[in-house]
Amino acid sequence: MISEARRQKAMEIIRGFPQKSSAVIPLLHLWQDEEGYLSDDAIAEVAEIMGMPPAEVQEVVSFYSMFHRRPLGRYHIEVCRSLSCALMGGRDILDHLRRRLGVGLNEPTPDGLFSVGAVECLARCDLAPVGQVNLEYTDRLTPEGVDRLLADLRARAEGGGAGA
Ligand code: FES
């Protein structure tokens, strides 16, 4: 059931577009930002507000890697797996991260602190291999740099810090 507050926000977003259909992505962001991921209920609710079949909303969700169908870690670390980054060792970095954390792609660690994902080109190929932590870029990744990054993020979480 959609809360009145969220319905209001959704209607405000829809009013900002000349064509209602253009609002689907911002609405999905709204749901994901507030719930952490897009559940079946979230997809059904966005579909209801948009007047679209849920299957069409699901198609949009599965097209964009920025949308997640499962809860992620507090720090979601993504590594680019496109060509320039792959040539510079991006896929090894991804494997390294998954081994270090003992998780599969888009699966949170048992403590809920981390998850690891793969993304396509982030348009920073000259800084390959590239990644991002909660959408904040991190460039020229190395296994040692990734280990430091994990330690820093863990320390930040233990210190009560928020964000990436
Ligand atoms: S290929 Fe990775 S940022 Fe372009």
DSSP per-residue string spanning 93-160 = HHHHHHHHHT--BT---TTSSEEEEEES--S-GGG-S-EEETTEEE-S--HHHHHHHHHHHHHHHHTT
The answer, yes or no, to whether residue 103 has pLDDT greater than 70, is yes
Radius of gyration of the chain (CA): 18
Tokens representing residue 41 in the block = 């209920």
The answer, yes or no, to whether residue 33 has pLDDT greater than 90, is no
Which sequence spans correspond to the domains of the chain? 4-63, 75-158
Closest by Cα among 138, 128, 132 to 116: 132
**What's the CA-to-centroid distance between 83 and ligand 1, angstroms?**
7
d(CA 67, CA 46) in angstroms, rounded, equals 13
* CA 5 to the chain's CA centroid: 24
CB within 8 A of 59, min separation 6: which ones?
none
Among the atoms of ligand 1, which is closest to the Cα of residue 80?
2
- Tell the residue number behind the tokens 């190929």, with chain if given: 125
List residues near ligand 1 (CB under 6 A).
80, 82-85, 121-125, 128, 130
Whats the size of the chain, residue-wise? 164
**What's the CA-to-centroid distance between 113 and ligand 1, angstroms?**
26
Residue 1's pLDDT band, with cuts at 50, 70 and 90, is confident
Residue 164's pLDDT band, with cuts at 50, 70 and 90, is very low
Residue 152's pLDDT band, with cuts at 50, 70 and 90, is very high
Write down the pLDDT at residue 161. Answer: 54
Among the atoms of ligand 1, which is closest to the Cα of residue 82?
1
Task: Write down the mean pLDDT value for the chain.
Answer: 93
Q: What is the architecture of the domain spanning 4-63?
A: Orthogonal Bundle (1.10)
Question: What is the three-class DSSP state of 136?
Answer: strand
Write down the pLDDT at residue 65. Answer: 81
Range from 60-64, 104-108, 127-131, 159-163 carrying the lowest mean pLDDT: 159-163
Range from 102-111, 127-136, 152-161 carrying the lowest mean pLDDT: 152-161
Write down the pLDDT at residue 56. Answer: 97
DSSP state, residue 105:
B
d(CA 139, CA 45) in angstroms, rounded, equals 37
Closest by Cα among 127, 124, 118, 113 to 164: 113
Q: What is the architecture of the domain spanning 75-158?
A: 3-Layer(aba) Sandwich (3.40)
Q: What pTM was computed for the model?
A: 0.76
Percent of the chain with pLDDT over 90: 86
Same fold, 4-63 and 75-158: no
Among the atoms of ligand 1, which is closest to the Cα of residue 127?
3
